[in-house]
Structure 1
Amino acid sequence: MSEKNSTKEDNIVKKTSKQASDLVNKSADTANDIVKSVSGEGGLVGKAADASTDFIKNVSKTGNKVVGKSVDTASNVIKGASKKVFGKKKDKE
Structure 2
Amino acid sequence: MPVFLDAGGSRISIVANLEYAWQWSGKNINAFLEYYRNGYGVMGDSYTLVDLPVALTDRLARSQLFNTGRDYLATGGRLEVTALLQLMPVLVLNAN
TM-score, normalised to structure 1's length?
Answer: 0.27
If asked which structure has higher relative contact order (CA below 8 Å, sep 6+), I would say 1
- Determine which structure has the larger helix proportion and give its number: 1
**Structure possessing the higher radius of gyration over alpha carbons:** 1
- Determine which structure has the larger strand proportion and give its number: 2
